Structure 1
Amino acid sequence: MLKHQQTLNGHQNPVYALSTAENPERFYSAGNDKGVVEWSLADMAFVKVIVPVQSSVYALHRLNHLLFIAQRSGLILVFDLRKQELLATLKHHQKAVFDLKTVGYKNELLSTGEDGSVAVWSLHDFSLLYHFPVLSDTVRVIAISNDEKEFALGAKDGVIRIYHTEDYSLCRELTGHTLPITSIQYAPSGNYMISGSRDAQLKIWALPGYEMDRNIPAHLFSIYSIAFHPSLPYFATCSQDKSIKIWSSTDFKLYKILSIEKGTDGHFHSINKMMWSEDGKHLISASDDRSIRIWNWE
């Protein structure tokens, strides 16, 4: 399964965000530092700081050669990775932006965060097209369905709200979690959506109707990231409890726990974000312990 391959040090503060690069042997990270960092998977080493930032970065989202950078200040930077220059600064949110996603068929960017609203941006000219309130408190996470017809918002009130991408109308509300939602992912199979919360539970929502299929007491504390393997029937979860767990994406069997407390290599503090390399050979995790760990899939 997974084996620790390398620990990448260089960040001076907690790391909150990860992104793939156009070059599959590179990736990006950011957090409570003053810049977005490029790393090499081939060399397992620091490459450079690609762009400076003025406040903490809570999310990175790449679309082809564009990297969108969500900041605590409420600003969203648009960086051209090929030209290595800043294209635009998107200003709307008055508080921290926690997540960014794109709706491909509409050529639009969605952003949300601490102000409880969703902003819709044009990817043609980066203008603000539309914005709407969700609730008066934090919206933490956005997930786009595989067919891009719907998207899910996870909020501080513990409710998951499903919206239509066509007109941004509210479709349904899912209740079941008892604490704020911290992670959501649609399964590659299209059969279900999975959510994680500060209540440490994973919930499986059967599609297309979003009926709750099962509840899994997965971790001890908040589940901050869910990442499906790009080609194999597995997914990973990580938590404030400092552990990474590997699960079957078909029967939800637990296969592996990566944690210092379980006697394996692991992070020393909360794990905030994970992603797989595009070839599925590496799982990359970022933590409050200021490190990025590379796990080799065997």
Structure 2
Amino acid sequence: MVHVEQIATLPGHQNPVYTVEPSQKPGIIFTAGNDKGVVEWSLRKREFIKVMFPVASSVYSLHCPVNAPILMAGERNGQVDVFDFIQQKITSRLIHHKLPVFDIKSVKSKSEILVASEDGTVSVWNLLTYELLYSFKVSNETVRVIAVSPDEKLVAFGSKDAVIRIYNLTDFSLIEELKEHQLPITSLCFSPDGRFLLSGSRDAQLKAWAVPEFNLHQSVPAHLFAIYDIKFHPVLPYFATASRDKTIKIWDADLKLLKIISIEKGYPNHILSVNKIAWDPETGNLISVSDDKLMMIWNVEFDS
């Protein structure tokens, strides 16, 4: 059994919230969207702290590398802002893409940053110097999402053309193309043990691919509309999905549905699309953000 209780609803944004990212510092989380700045929140006090920095356009992605004291924000105008926590200011802007940046991930073992854009390319940057190392074409359409395997040997890119492409992280050579989804890929996540890659799409299907062969292991009609995010619990064998259908769902590692968080099920949930979710590493609480301009915090407890 799974027990879910909403423990906070935090207003503050004036427009839809597109992304949420836990800080490297426990108890802190960041959100951003179609507003004029990136916002810092206290999860412990469940309250607004401050606007971290202004932005020139909507923010579609946030990323906090585990091995660097920075916050990165990918904007609609194609730039990536780098906010340094030590200096408490933006110290660099990664200027390369001319179209929106939809995802940012880092590779700790290589000290590299991966940036995915609507232009169909992925750029690779040095995490220490912010030098552009190279850029390569992944798709003729938007690259929407990036997933790095736990051992940092593989990276998966999900694109608007409905294809998932698997690359070797050593030399960025293409390994496999997965073409089972019928509509654009909107979410990707490797399982913590590295045995599976989970994918979500605008076709509302949740698929599990066995690694390293990338055979389709399982497919589930998980939602009514696009699956915008997939996130595994920080320590337990469960994960959550977020969807345009206004629901959040909790699953076990075998893709068995355990809980539906929705207004129809009696929860004070979001009234519009749930765009991103995150687990608080400190408490195990689940955080969600939505087009309804709200961030919500959920206490999720699993029976042993």
State TM-score, norm by structure 1. Answer: 0.98
Percent identity over paired residues: 53
Query: What SS does the corresponding residue of 1:105 show, helix, strand or coil?
Result: helix
Match for residue 113 of structure 2?
109
CA–CA distance in structure 1, aligned partners of residues 235 and 128 of structure 2: 32
Q: Using the TM superposition, give the Cα deviation of residue 80 of structure 1 relative to its aligned residue in structure 2, in angstroms.
A: 0.5
The number of residues matched between the two structures is: 297
Query: Hey, what's the Cα distance between the residues in 1 that align with 2:243 and 2:111?
Result: 33
Quote the residue 1:27 is aligned against: 29
Which amino acid in structure 2 is aligned with residue 231 of structure 1? V
> Paired residue for 1:45?
47
**What does the per-residue CA deviation read over 1:202-237, in whole Å, with 9 as the maximum and x for residues that have no partner?**
000011111000100000000000010011111000
1:18 counterpart residue number: 20
Which residue does the alignment assign to 1:184? 188
Partner residue, 2:222: 218
Q: 1:280 to 1:188 in 2, by over 3 A?
A: farther
AA in 2 matched with 1:228: F
TM-superposed deviation, 1:279: 2.4
Can you give the 5+ residue segments of structure 2 that lack an aligned partner in the other structure? none
1:209 aligns with 2:229: no
* Deviation >2 Å, runs of 4+: none
State the 1:112 CA deviation.
0.8
Pick aligned residue for 2:288 from 281, 285, 295: 285
Q: Distance in 1 between matches of 2:174 and 2:25?
A: 37
Over aligned residues, Cα RMSD in angstroms? 0.9
Which letter maps to 2:13?
H
1:106-129, CA deviations, whole angstroms, 9 ceiling, x for partnerless residues? 111000111000101111210111
SS in 1 for 2:264: helix
Aligned to 1:144: 148
| Aligned-pair CA distance for 1:65 | 1.1
Cα deviation digits, residues 3-27 of structure 1 (max 9, x gap)? 1111000000000111111321111
| Structure 1 letter corresponding to 2:203 | D
User: Residue 66 of structure 1: which of 65, 70, 77 is its match?
Assistant: 70
* Residue 244 (structure 1) aligned to one of 244, 248, 268: 248
Deviation of 1:261 (Å): 2.1
Contact 1:280-1:297 within 8 A present in 2 as well: no
Contact kept, 8 Å, 1:205 with 1:214, in 2: the verdict is yes
Q: What letter is aligned with 2:271?
A: F
The letter for the 2-side match of 1:10 is G
- Superimposed CA distance per residue, residues 232-282 of structure 1 (whole angstroms, 9 cap, x where no aligned partner): 111000100000000001x22111100012222210000000000012421
Q: Output the CA distance in 1 between the equivalents of 2:24 and 2:163.
A: 35
Indicate whether 1:92 and 2:122 are aligned.
no
Q: Residue deviations 1:36-88, cap 9 Å, x none?
A: 00001111110000111010000000013111110000000111022211110
Q: What is the alpha-carbon distance in structure 1 between the residues aligned to residue 124 and residue 217 of structure 2?
A: 31
Can you give the 5+ residue segments of structure 1 that lack an aligned partner in the other structure?
Answer: none
